[in-house]
């Protein structure tokens, strides 16, 4: 899958951003709703599904595996085949740029005795898959490929996987989720042990669909998450809350653009996903969580943000799993803070859609913000509200790099240009339109095509 021609975009200093709005559904929950709907009996109806490329590729893949996923009116319906009931696809399953869709699907395919080829775009094909595949292979998955930890790969599962007990070497919700999904196809109990909490959407949704899942602390302070194999899952009605990673850009813009007051409604506030908002509050941001409630087993709230004077903080490494996708935009916010912001434990950023750690630092430096990388630690030297701008940011086909620096440009002294925005459609196709609706000044670069 290739992206359309590059679309450079310029963000310019904006007047106060004002408004109440919603952002598209959470990407993590959208992927899981489609996959668990496919493994359930009967129909699963999903409202608020994120209709971005990454999720639509998962919908196409479950359809190709014999569990049709289609939109009817405002609701998506998945006709499930039950645990172990998917069929061999007629061709490759193309996940485009989606690491989440790919890795979770590996867990699903591990329980099916047929070959299936997984492919992706150039960026996804560079991303390592070994840490997902290794535990799945110990359960019985067979893997065939020229380079057996990069796409394209052909997988062949087995109907009766071996249950395992696996301690995560690195905190990763994707690895945990792939093992738990594979565990649905294993006789007995499959356990994942995590030393640091990671997003728990898979566990919550497995329970919601009828699986037996437990999470218990052990004597070493770790958490043991266990799923019992061969459940009968039943189709459910799922309401997908607004994606906190998408909302982060709008909230960040409100905090750094003087005079702004913005509210984003119905945002997922699962504690495994709110590290960015916690950090903003520590920096002095004026954030309030209103109308807190629960929907579909997940906590949600309306988040209101106003322009704030910020101070630099130290972000501990154990917070990384709860905000791994938000570090680029946090770094851009930190550029406006008084003092230094030090972010620890960012090794995971090196294996995202791009080397996000290097790309974030380079983008800041290009716009007059001093940074320092030492190992897995990024330090941003804040300018007390002043960022020069005037630079061009290389996005490396990474949607979050593009959106983070467009956000920064709304409060910079001079416009900020990003070299490509085509890939924003993979996660947040409404980004530019919603920002402009709040009053943001975003427009094509001079002489840009497409």
Q: Under 8 Å CB-to-CB from 180, ≥6 apart: which residues?
A: 107, 190, 192, 202, 203, 206, 213, 225, 227
**DSSP state letters, 94-139:** E-TT-HHHHHHHHHHHTTSSSEEEEE--HHHHTS--HHHHHHHHHH
Instruction: Output the six-digit token pair for 92.
Output: 């490759």
- Region of 365 (left: φ > 0; alpha: ψ -120 to 50; beta: rest) is alpha
Closest CA to 267 of 305, 300, 291, 304: 300
Catalytic (active site) residue 286: no
**Which is the catalytic residue, given 200, 325, 398, 419?**
325
CA distances from 350 to 128, 193, 258, 356, 397 (A): 11, 24, 33, 6, 14
Closest CA to 313 of 264, 400, 379, 385: 379
Contact predicate 291/308, CB 8 Å: no
Q: Based on the number of CB atoms within 10 Å of its own CB, is 70 exposed (0-12), middle (13-18) or buried (19 or more)?
A: exposed
Catalytic residues: 325
């Amino acid at each position: 899958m290739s992206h359309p021609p590059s679309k450079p975009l310029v963000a310019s200093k904006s007047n106060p951003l004002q408004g109440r709005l919603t952002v598209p559904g959470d990407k993590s929950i959208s992927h899981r709703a489609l996959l668990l709907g496919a493994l359930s009996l009967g129909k699963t109806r999903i409202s608020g599904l994120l209709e971005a490329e990454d999720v639509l590729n998962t919908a196409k893949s479950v359809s190709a595996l014999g569990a049709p996923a289609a939109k009817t009116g405002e609701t998506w319906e998945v006709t499930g085949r039950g645990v172990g009931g998917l069929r061999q696809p007629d061709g490759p399953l193309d996940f485009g740029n989606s690491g989440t869709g790919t890795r979770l699907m590996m867990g699903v395919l591990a329980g099916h005795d047929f070959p299936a080829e997984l492919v992706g775009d150039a960026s996804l094909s560079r991303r390592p898959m070994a840490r997902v595949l290794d535990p799945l292979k110990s359960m019985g998955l067979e893997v065939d490929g020229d380079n057996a930890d990069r796409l394209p790969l052909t997988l062949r599962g087995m109907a009766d996987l071996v249950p395992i007990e696996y301690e995560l070497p690195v905190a990763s919700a994707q690895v945990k989720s792939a093992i738990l999904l594979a565990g649905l196809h294993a006789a007995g109990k499959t356990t994942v042990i995590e030393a640091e909490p990671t997003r728990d959407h898979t566990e919550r949704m497995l329970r919601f669909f009828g699986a037996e899942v437990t999470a218990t602390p052990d004597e070493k302070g770790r958490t043991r998450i266990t799923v019992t194999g061969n459940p009968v899952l039943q189709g459910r009605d799922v309401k997908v809350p607004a994606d906190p990673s998408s909302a982060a850009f709008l909230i960040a813009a409100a905090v750094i653009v003087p005079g702004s007051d913005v509210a984003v409604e119905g945002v997922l506030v699962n504690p495994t996903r709110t590290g960015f908002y916690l950090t903003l509050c520590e920096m002095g941001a004026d954030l309030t969580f209103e109308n807190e409630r629960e929907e579909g087993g997940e906590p949600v709230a309306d988040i209101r943000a106003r322009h704030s004077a910020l101070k630099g903080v130290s972000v501990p490494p154990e917070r990384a799993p709860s905000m791994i996708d938000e570090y680029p935009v946090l770094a851009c916010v930190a550029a406006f803070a008084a003092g230094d912001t030090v972010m620890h434990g960012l090794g995971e950023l090196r294996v995202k859609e791009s080397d996000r750690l290097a790309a974030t630092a380079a983008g800041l430096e290009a716009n007059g913000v001093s940074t320092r990388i030492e190992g897995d630690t990024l330090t941003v030297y804040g300018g007390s509200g002043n960022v020069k701008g005037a630079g061009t940011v290389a996005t490396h086909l990474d949607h979050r790099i593009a959106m983070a620096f467009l956000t920064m440009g709304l409060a910079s002294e001079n416009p900020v240009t990003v070299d490509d925005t085509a890939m924003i459609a993979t996660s947040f196709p409404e980004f530019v339109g919603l920002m402009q609706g709040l009053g943001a000044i975003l427009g094509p670069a001079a002489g840009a095509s497409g």
